[in-house]
Structures are given as C-alpha cells and as structure tokens.
C-alpha cells in the first residue's frame, strides 16, 4: 500500500521549506515502520523504491518542478532504474534518504538516491526519469528552461553514461 500519510505530511512540510537549487542534495530523515518490513524483519526492497518515490517528490517540490508540472499540465515517469542493496534497515531504525539530480541526456533526466544509516550506505539507486506531455516525453530542454536552468546539462558521471548505454542494448519487449 502506498504511504499516503507520509506523502501528505511530506507535502505539507516541504512546501513550507525554502527552495533548493536543482543540483542540491535533498535530505530527509525517516524511520522504518512496521508496515515497511517483510518476512525477514527488514525493510522490503519494494518499500525502499516506494519511499524513494517520496524522496523524488520532495526534491521536486523544493526545486519548483511540481509547480511547473501543474502549470504545464505535465506528468512524471520513471523510465528505468538500477539499485544496489548493501545493508539492512530494520524496524524502528532511523535513516536518512538523500536525493540528488545529476543531469540529463537527449531524452531523460537522471537522479540518484540513497538511504544512509549513520555512516553506512544501505542502498543506492540510479533513476532515469522523464516528464510527459500529452502522453509523450516532453523535450528535456523545454523542461530545463521551465525550471530556469540555462545551457547544457553537467556531464553525467561515467558510470551513469555506461548504464544508460548498456540499457539501450536490452531487448524490448522481452522474449518470453
């Protein structure tokens, strides 16, 4: 089930906070709740992705993207992701979720997210996202301009570019 109470409190909180720059790292303190765990008494990997959705939403509010989406009647889509899981988060453990916008290529925007428990990085995700307009991807340059970002994207890290290139070779639709 989607964490609607967390979502609602996040919207109320983030709208009261000052704006952030598009390349700033958004940090959010969270606690692993009993509804987040699986049969192994740790945060479920699917729940991790759902909570990361909240982190992206929070960043979108703070950088002004949500206002632009509403004004333009645009939507958001996740077009791909890769996640590394390295350490458990168990019930009632506190952690910090960090979300950062990395840049864009000719079609997509790239963000990275991680959950940290103290000095330990528990998981890390790279996401390829898009903005949709009338059922199609909106040109990234139009979205950047609407956000007040001029010029080219910062160079994407090599590992991000390598993942994006490797993903282009993936067969779609799958053969089974």
Which CATH number fits the domain that encloses residue 109?
Answer: 3.10.129.10
**What pLDDT shows up at residue 50?**
97
Task: Give how many domains the chain has, as a whole number.
Answer: 1
> Is 175 a member of any domain?
no
Q: Strands, E, within 3-119: which ranges?
A: 26-31, 75-85, 94-104, 109-117
Cα separation, 127 vs 112, whole angstroms: 6
Predicted pLDDT at 1:
79
In the predicted model, is pLDDT for residue 23 greater than 90?
yes
173 falls within a domain: no
> Could you tell me if residue 33 is inside a domain?
yes
d(CA 98, CA 88): 17
Q: Is residue 176 part of a domain?
A: no
| Average pLDDT rounded to a whole number, residues 84-92 | 98
């Amino acid at each position: 089930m989607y964490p609607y109470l967390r979502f609602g409190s996040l919207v109320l909180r983030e709208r009261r906070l000052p704006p952030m720059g598009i390349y700033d790292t958004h940090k959010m303190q969270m606690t692993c709740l009993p509804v987040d765990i699986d049969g192994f008494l740790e945060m479920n990997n699917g729940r991790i992705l759902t909570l990361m959705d909240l982190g992206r939403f929070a960043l979108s509010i703070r950088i002004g993207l949500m206002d632009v989406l509403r004004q333009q009647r645009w939507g958001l889509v996740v077009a791909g992701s890769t996640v590394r899981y390295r350490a458990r988060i168990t019930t009632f453990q506190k952690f910090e979720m960090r979300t950062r916008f990395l840049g864009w290529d000719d079609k997509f925007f790239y963000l990275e997210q991680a959950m940290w428990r103290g000095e330990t990085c528990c998981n890390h995700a790279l996401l390829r996202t898009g903005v949709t307009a009338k059922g199609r991807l909106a040109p990234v340059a139009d979205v950047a301009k609407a956000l007040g970002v001029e010029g080219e994207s910062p160079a994407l890290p090599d590992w991000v570019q390598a993942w994006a290139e490797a993903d282009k070779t993936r067969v779609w639709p799958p053969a089974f």
